[in-house]
Structure 1
Amino acid sequence: MDLHRSRAGLVVGVVMLPIGFCMVLSGLTGSTLRLVGGLIFGGLVMLVGTAGIVEAVRPFRFHIGFDGLTVRTAGLNRLLPWAEIDHLVLDQQPPGLSDKRMPSPLLLLVPAARSTLDLPLTHRSPWDDRPCLVLLDVHDVREKTDQVAAALARYGGSRFTDHRQIVRQRFDSARFPVEARGYDRAAVDAVVQKGREALRSEDFLGRLGAKAEVELALAELPLVAHGYDRVRVDVFLRDLSAALGRFEEGEEESG
């Protein structure tokens, strides 16, 4: 399976270059302040547009096949045979409150001991915390994330882990014991189901909205006779909230 570079950067560049050029021309016909503003802001817009076009036309290849991965990206331009790959992990980071869209899924490569890969391993695998290389930012290609995952699973076999599925399965399999006085089961089931659905989605606002509802439920779930165990539900909902949206660094460490 061949992956193809996204055209988003090219489209942005083609749009922004003439806008920046017009801003510069507009500054030339006005006062000194307008001239300076036009040159600065117009130049910045043109710079961003040029960067988008350069990135879009930069040589790129990513082929997933029986022999391994043939790549021309991430500082590589060669075949990575499966024997050189110990593990591939597809990781989806949760959105932070400062993010304006869902972070892109990343394909991480943990090299095998016999690998001749000599690039710096700047990340850690969410699967086992081993050093790894970011091989692909999935938003940079036209194929959908699930299509990429299916191809990697087909050809990579046990070398590939879709960490998104691990996270989802963790929350799909939860069961709560019932105690004499606990949380209303219908209320818990409703908020858990909404959180699970949001976790499967790449809708940024939907995930943040579900996170807010989960945190509100933690403070307001009604108590009833023969309800769900409160300690188990509280732990589960805190973990679900953390998966839906990244906490501030200090809060993560304190949890």
Structure 2
Amino acid sequence: MELRRNRGTLVLAAICVLGGVTVLAVGGHRVLRTLVALGAVILGGVVLLGALRPFRFVIGPDGLDVRRPGLRGTYRWDQFDALALADGPSVQGRPGTPRLLGVPGAALPPEVRASARHSLDGRAAVELLDLAQVRQTPDEVADALARYAADRFTDARARTTARLVGVDFDFAESLRGYRTERIDELVRHAQAALAHGDAAARQAARAEIEQARTTGLPVALRGYALREVDVALDALCAALADPAATDRETAP
């Protein structure tokens, strides 16, 4: 599957450059107007240059063929310990554009350096692609990765996890709530076990949650809302205990 670059930013960038040039040509000598026009020209020019640089991203049976700014090469699936499609940084409380992350294996060339973290288990990862750059939908990309990368790939987008256990993990904060770091850790471990763990991994994640609740989850000022967290942890424990859940060995 060859991904096609999203050219939608070209129009906006061209408008910025054209508008800026027009203002500079007829706008007189006002300093503020001139600075704004120059900024528009520079910003549009940078976007245009980036959009016109060579781009190739192919997902195939043998691995990834990548030609994009900052990353060039052909990478076999066995050069990654794991791959994940994860949501980018949140925007106004909503997940950002999905990104494809790869956890480097021993065979990955050393010049390919980690710049991110696997969203489920926190391992160092390489950002292979921001899906805002391509025309294909995240679901289309996820289907191709699941077909070719098999158990190395995890669809870790928030909506996928939420659908799996029927609950939202975007917790509200309250003046007195559960300490965020501890809850994030428990949820991350449970998500990892559900996404690509076997029965033993799911049992261990469930036991971790139950032990933490038995000893008492830490409470702090400006923590996660108590009720929302309790509901989410109940749902996670139920999903982790479900014998019908798919058994999959953790990716090597």
> When the two structures are superposed, what TM-score results if normalisation uses the length of structure 1?
0.63
Deviations 1:123-147 (A, max 9, x none): 1112221111111001111110100
RMSD after superposition? 3.0
Question: Contact (CA 8 Å) 1:9, 1:55: kept in 2 or not?
Answer: no
Distance (whole Å) between structure 1 residues aligned to residue 119 and residue 108 of structure 2: 21
TM-score, normalised relative to structure 2: 0.64
Please say which structure displays the higher CA radius of gyration: 1
Cα distance in structure 1, aligned partners of 2:109 and 2:14: 40
- Does the 8 Å CA contact 1:3/1:142 hold for their aligned counterparts? yes
- Aligned counterpart for 2:53 among listed residues 54, 58, 79: 58
Correspondences of 1:190-229 after superposition (within 5 Å):
none
Equivalent AA in structure 1 for residue 20 of structure 2: G
Quote the sequence identity (%): 34
Q: 1:237 to 1:115 in 2, by over 3 A?
A: same
2:15 & 2:230 partners in 1: Cα distance? 46
1:122-161 to structure 2, matched below 5 A, reads 122-161=115-154
* Superposed displacement of residue 94, structure 1: 6.0
Q: Structure 2 stretches of 5 or more lacking a match?
A: 178-224, 234-252
- Return the structure number with greater strand share: 2
Instruction: Tell me, yes or no, if the aligned pair for 2:55 and 2:69 is still in contact at 8 Å.
Output: no
Contact 1:26–1:38 (Cα < 8 Å) also in 2: no
Counterpart in 2 of 1:120? 113
Question: Which runs of structure 2 are paired with 1:49-128 in the superposition (5 Å)?
Answer: 49-73=44-68, 75-93=70-88, 95-97=90-92, 103-128=96-121
For residues 89 and 129 of structure 2, what CA distance do their matches in structure 1 show?
17
Q: Is the 8 A contact 1:23 1:41 kept in 2?
A: no
1:189-223 Cα distance to aligned partner (Å, 9 max, x none): xxx6xx5xxx8xxxxxxx9xxx78x98xx9xxxxx
Partners in 2 of 1:118 and 1:57 — Cα distance?
A: 24
Q: Tell me if structure 2 keeps the 8 A contact 1:25–1:38.
A: no
Matched residues, number: 184
Q: Tell me how far 1:171 sits from its aligned partner.
A: 3.5
| Residue identity matched to 1:171 | V
Offset from partner CA, 1:26-48 (integer Å, 9 cap, x none): 323xxx4x2x2232111111111
Where does residue 18 of structure 1 map in the other structure?
A: 18
Structure 2 counterpart of 1:5, which letter? Answer: R
| Contact 1:16/1:48 (8 A) holds in 2 | yes
Which of residues 168, 178, 181 in structure 1 aligns to 2:162? 168
C-alpha contact (below 8 Å) 2:53/2:69 kept by paired residues: no
Tell me which amino acid in the other structure corresponds to 1:155.
Y
